[in-house]
Each structure stands twice: as structure tokens, then as C-alpha cells.
Amino acid sequence: MTSTPSPLVDPFARAISYLRVSVTDRCDFRCTYCMSEQMTFLPKADLLSLEELDRLCSTFVRLGVQKLRITGGEPLVRKDILTFFRAMSRHLDTGTLKELTLTTNGSQLTRYADELAALGVRRINVSLDTLDPDKFAQITRWGRLNQVLEGIEAAKSVGLKVKINAVALKGFNEDELFPLLDWCAEEGHDLTFIEVMPMGEDMSPLRLDQYWPLKDLRTRLAGRFTLTDLTERTGGPARYVRIEETGQKVGFITPLTHNFCESCNRVRLTCTGALYMCLGQEDMADLRAPLRASPDDADLEQAIRAAIARKPKGHDFDYSRQKVTGQMTRHMSHTGG
């Protein structure tokens, strides 16, 4: 019998139990805050195969990862992606993995919601910044609102719990705060707002322009409703309030104005096998080399442990001096947000 390996704990005594995996850098949308219109994507040979992703994620699960979030790019545009979900669902069956979930733009959900639910996915995050078809087309460049709304409906109809993630954008969806909230209440979806982050090359003027601090958004909410802070923590940058009048739970992801690093339980894997120990730092560990070097998982496991031992204490994003510092040049679609 093999002994249970010791779990992953970083130098600041944080246990790593959550892995976010980007399975592709490609996407069928071109959201303005995420990608440029002309993106150069990675050559296929650089990508981990679905088998390699399976081996890598399974190693993390063996080392104590209990939650896997599949993301991208758009995870559901990766060819045969259900093969990968099927592979991961075996860890749900054994109970070693507690949650298998994904973040999606929703465009492919009419096609996949059913099978995802059958494979043990229970909750999904769908990114949706506006309910106005024209504004949706403007912000996603290539997306169609109807297709996404139908996808969300399909997810709901097979019993998937949907959380809507909306990026708060100054001058863009400020006027939709209450309509979005009402729609989520009617549909039974949770809602989380995300502060726009300085990711991607040379986008800082645009980002500052679009920056709508969630502090302001919250003040606006509090002008109409009674908000109660919830103590619930996910180990990530989300904080939640309950709206007493409607019972709705609303989340705020404020990586720029709030320090959440002390309880960070997560690492991020890109589709090329780079492990980022912090969303806001450049340091990464190449796991593809040890993965491809040997069929024995021992080297891989050692590389993962060495990477976790380098997990930094926190990130350096800062908008406070009216210029973006600590900016990351990589795109969100690379690390998976």
C-alpha cells in the first residue's frame, strides 16, 4: 500500500487545497478588458494534452487539492474537454476531490450543461457584465447575449447552481447595478462583482479609465438596501454581504483595494503547465518539463513541492497613486483569472 503523501503547505503555513486550471488560452469572445482583438494564441505543441492535464491535476489531488476550477480562455471551447471532466470526476467518486467546477462565458452551455451535471459538477461561474445585447456585443466584441442567456437557462434546468460574475466597469455597467441584481434574484443566481485588474500588455490607461471601485458600488447598494457582512470566506479575494430585504447574497472581489493574501489557499496552472503561485507575481514554476521528462510522478511531485515552497506572501497591485503599479503583463486568459 502507498502511504498518504504529506499535504501542500506553503512557507506562511497556508494549506494549498484549491487549484485553478486553465485548459486553453483560446476563446470565442474577445472581452475588451481581457484580450486584444488580434490575439496570437499558443502553438498546439506547447499545450498540455488532456492526458497530461489529467496526470498533473491528479497529482495535485493526491497532494491534498480538494477543489478544482477549470477555466481558460474559454474552457468549453477546448476540443474534447468533457474527456478531461470525465477523468476528474473519478476523484469526486472516490471522495478525494470535493468540488469540480468551472468558470465560463456561457456560450457553450446549451451543449454541455447536461453532461457537466452528470459528471458531478454542481456549481458554475458564468461571466456576464451586462444584460443589454448591444453593450454585451460591445464589451465581448464577438459574443451574443442571447446565446449566453440560453446557456445559463440550460445550466439552471439541469440543476447547476449558477453564480454570475460581473466585472464592474465605470461608465459601462454602473447603470445596471440594480437591474442585474433584480435579474439574479428572479433567476435564483448568486452575483459577484469583480474589480477590473491591470492585466495584459500596455492596457493600463484603459484599465484606470474603467476602474469602478467596489467600495463605491457597495455604497450605492447600501443607499437602497440594508447590507449585512457575512463572515464566509473562500480563501480567495471574495467577500460577501447579504441584502436583508431580498435575502440575496452578493460578492465583491476586490484584489486591488483589499488584502486577502493572508488566507490564500490557491495556485494557478496554465495550459502549458506553468504553475503561478500568486496571481499578482511573475514567479512561476514549469511543471511541463518534469511531467514530460519521466513517467514517474515522483519528479513531478517534487517540482510541485518546490514551487509551493516559493509561494509569496502577497501581491503588489496598487491603483492608489492614480497610476497602475505592480501591473502584470500576462493576460488573464493565460492564468485563468
Residues near ligand SF4, by CB under 6 A: 27, 29-31, 34-35, 72-74, 105, 127, 333
Residue with Cβ nearer ligand SF4 (66 or 71): 71
Give dist(CA 19, CA 181) in Å, integer. Answer: 29
Task: Yes or no: say if 258 and 237 are a contact pair by the CB < 8 Å rule.
Answer: yes
Q: Residue 151, interface with ligand SAM (CB under 6 A)?
A: no
- By a kind-dependent CB cut-off of 5 to 8 A, residue 237 interacts, out of ligand SAM, ligand SF4, none, with none
Task: Yes or no: say if 316 and 255 are a contact pair by the CB < 8 Å rule.
Answer: no
- By a kind-dependent CB cut-off of 5 to 8 A, residue 273 interacts, out of ligand SAM, ligand SF4, none, with none
Task: Yes or no: say if 123 and 160 are a contact pair by the CB < 8 Å rule.
Answer: yes
Q: Residue 66, interface with ligand SAM (CB under 6 A)?
A: no
Residue with Cβ nearer ligand SF4 (89 or 272): 272
Q: Residue 265, interface with ligand SAM (CB under 6 A)?
A: no
Give dist(CA 272, CA 25) in Å, integer. Answer: 9
DSSP element (H, E) containing 82: helix 81-94
The residue from 88, 167, 217, 250 that contacts ligand SAM (CB under 6 A) is: 167
Give dist(CA 251, CA 295) in Å, integer. Answer: 42
Contacts of residue 184, defined as CB under 8 A and 6 or more positions apart, other chains included, come to: 164, 190, 191, 248
Q: Closest approach of Cβ 12 to ligand SF4, in Å?
A: 30
Give dist(CA 13, CA 135) in Å, integer. Answer: 44
Q: Closest approach of Cβ 194 to ligand SAM, in Å?
A: 5
Q: In the window 185-214, what residues touch ligand SAM (CB under 6 A)?
A: 194, 196-197, 199
Binding site for ligand SAM (CB under 6 A): 27, 33-34, 71-72, 74, 103-105, 127, 165, 167, 194, 196-197, 199, 332-333, 336-337
